[in-house]
Amino acid sequence: MSANRNLHKAKVNKKDEFYTQLSDIENELYHYWPHFRDKVVYCNCDDPRVSNFFRYFSLQFEPLGLKKLITTCYKNQQVDIFSQNDSERAIWLEYDGTRNETGVPSIEDIGVRHLEGNGDFRSAECIELLKQADIVVTNPPFSLFREYVAQLIEYDKKFLIIGNKNAITYKEIFPLIKQNKMWVGVTPMSRDLLFDLPKEYAQFLVETKREGSAYKVLDGVVKGRSQSMWFTNLDHKKRHEELILTKRYSPEKYPKYDNYDATEVSKTKDIPRDYSGAMGVPITFLDKYNPEQFEIIWTTDRGGDGMIEFMKKPHDRHDAPVVRGKGVYKRIFIRNKRPQA
DNA sequence: ATCTGTAGGGTGTAGGCTGG
DNA sequence: CCAGCCTACACCCTACAGAT
């Protein structure tokens, strides 16, 4: 019984109980089809038995024109302790599209192999699989997001992944966004993503958390709410769309920060069309960010290439932007490359 | 040279506001 | 009313100063 309790606790404590909804994958992937023809897709943080990523790519294998689909699945030691047999060993799957007449891949069509290790994306055997891949698509563990992205960059992979919104301001992540090496996917980042949950975890959330914050109920089904968004380095149409600006600058409407030499613009849609100086905007600006239209300078977080130092005014705090004595939330500093009259 | 206490920046989770 | 958007805040972590 006590082992049972521990198991339950282990399950509840396990962070990665959030499974991406098939509809969210479909809605995002829809915008990238040309990128996938003849490509090897790798989902390296997936359990193919429950993952909608594997499901999506195996079902869309032929329409997308994929060359190969590879999936690896992480299994931590915790689970092994309680399992009765070795069916919980880490596995990897390879699918090259051979199909039976039903159009749905059968187990015979898919090569299922055991991994030597635990399936950690950082392990040598998983890196070997990564090297074969053209595009990586998955929902990696948020706690390892930095390392995860660093590895993708190191091996020069195209990717389409889900991460926490706050990851934008991580000091390892923001430079990639500034340098246009990574950007926001098509699904608006301002909207929360909802996730499928295992039954026990859904129950745990309902019992201990608040509806609307930790979870939401959709058609009677409990979905986990997370401040998540898509990150990618695959080009898409949205990031080339001009953001239409209607407001005009005036010093009264657009105050300067007390501690930064920049103008506060509290809503992206209020960016003045005729202003060429540095502006602070909410991080959700990145939804509308078109690199031909705007230049990203830096965020209010310290670090970076020293640019931010030039914007600091004498003040007792620089951890948050301050307007008329009142602190506001994190901002991204931008400049309009082509202000209009 | 190493330890330790502390300040404050960095990160993640959750909650709140509001306009259509 | 609630999706869309913004913010509060606790706790972790790191750097660093001063002590040993």
The per-residue pLDDT for A303 is: 44
The per-residue pLDDT for A302 is: 45
Q: What is the mean pLDDT of the segment spanning A259-274?
A: 79
pLDDT, chain A, mean:
74
Weakest mean pLDDT among A139-148, A203-212, A241-250, A278-287: A203-212
Closest of A231, A232, A221, A165 to residue A192, by C-alpha: A165
Higher pLDDT, A332 or A64: A64
Which nucleotide is nearest, taking the CA of residue A142 and each C1'? B12
Place of tokens 């959709």: A218
Which nucleotide is nearest, taking the CA of residue A192 and each C1'? C4
Q: What is the mean pLDDT of the segment spanning A231-240?
A: 86
The per-residue pLDDT for A96 is: 82
With beta carbons less than 8 A apart as the criterion, state whether A31 and A237 touch.
yes
Q: What is the mean pLDDT of the segment spanning A169-175?
A: 70
The per-residue pLDDT for A64 is: 92
The region that residue A36 occupies, defined by phi over 0 for left and psi between -120 and 50 for alpha, beta otherwise, is: alpha
Identity of residue A6 = N
The per-residue pLDDT for A50 is: 65
Which nucleotide is nearest, taking the CA of residue A174 and each C1'? B10
Q: Which of A58-62, A295-299, A305-309 has the highest mean pLDDT?
A: A58-62
Cβ-based contacts with strand B at under 7 Å: A 15, 142-143, 145, 164-167, 169-171, 209-210, 212-214, 227, 301-303, 317-319
Q: How far is the CA of A4 from the C1' of C15 (A)?
A: 43
Name the protein residue, with chain letter, whose CA is nearest the C1' of C2. A212
Weakest mean pLDDT among A67-76, A129-138, A321-330: A321-330
Which nucleotide is nearest, taking the CA of residue A326 and each C1'? C7
Q: pLDDT confidence of A133, banded at 50, 70, 90?
A: very high
Q: How far is the CA of A246 from the C1' of B20 (A)?
A: 20
Q: How far is the CA of A299 from the C1' of C16 (A)?
A: 25
The per-residue pLDDT for A324 is: 67
- Cβ neighbours around A245 below 10 Å, total: 18
Q: What is the mean pLDDT of the segment spanning A299-320?
A: 58
The per-residue pLDDT for A326 is: 63
Task: Tell me how far the alpha carbon of residue A11 is from its chain's centroid.
Answer: 23
Strands A263-264 and A279-281: parallel
Query: Residue A29 corresponds to which tokens in the numbers above?
Result: 């992937």
How far, CA to CA in Å, does A130 sit from each of A40, A124, A157?
10, 10, 8
3-state secondary structure of A28: helix
This prediction has a pTM of 0.81
Q: Which of A156-160, A165-169, A268-272 has the highest mean pLDDT?
A: A156-160
3-state secondary structure of A327: strand
Q: What is the mean pLDDT of the segment spanning A105-119?
A: 71
Which nucleotide is nearest, taking the CA of residue A208 and each C1'? B14
Q: How far is the CA of A330 from the C1' of B12 (A)?
A: 15
Closest of A301, A284, A285 to residue A192, by C-alpha: A284
Q: How far is the CA of A310 from the C1' of B2 (A)?
A: 37
Which nucleotide is nearest, taking the CA of residue A164 and each C1'? B12
Weakest mean pLDDT among A166-170, A235-239, A323-327: A323-327
The percent of residues in chain A predicted with pLDDT above 90, rounded, is 8
pLDDT digits (tens, 9 = 90+) for A10-40: 333 334 457 788 888 888 888 899 999 999 9
Q: Which of A100-114, A234-248, A292-306 has the highest mean pLDDT?
A: A234-248
Q: How far is the CA of A306 from the C1' of C16 (A)?
A: 21
Query: Residue A291 corresponds to which tokens in the numbers above?
Result: 């690199």
Q: Which of A28-32, A74-78, A296-300 has the highest mean pLDDT?
A: A28-32
3-state secondary structure of A326: strand
The per-residue pLDDT for A8 is: 29
Q: What is the mean pLDDT of the segment spanning A288-303?
A: 74
For the cut 90, the answer to whether the pLDDT of residue A172 exceeds it is: no
For the cut 80, the answer to whether the pLDDT of residue A107 exceeds it is: no
3-state secondary structure of A26: helix
Weakest mean pLDDT among A5-14, A157-166, A329-338: A5-14
Higher pLDDT, A159 or A341: A159
Q: How far is the CA of A291 from the C1' of C13 (A)?
A: 34
Nucleotides of B under 7 A from a protein CB: 8-16
Q: Helices A22-29 and A52-59: crossing angle, nearest 10°?
A: 50
The per-residue pLDDT for A21 is: 80
How far apart are alpha carbons A294 and A304 in whole angstroms? 18
Q: How far is the CA of A171 from the C1' of B5 (A)?
A: 27
For the cut 60, the answer to whether the pLDDT of residue A319 exceeds it is: no
Query: Residue A209 corresponds to which tokens in the numbers above?
Result: 């958390």
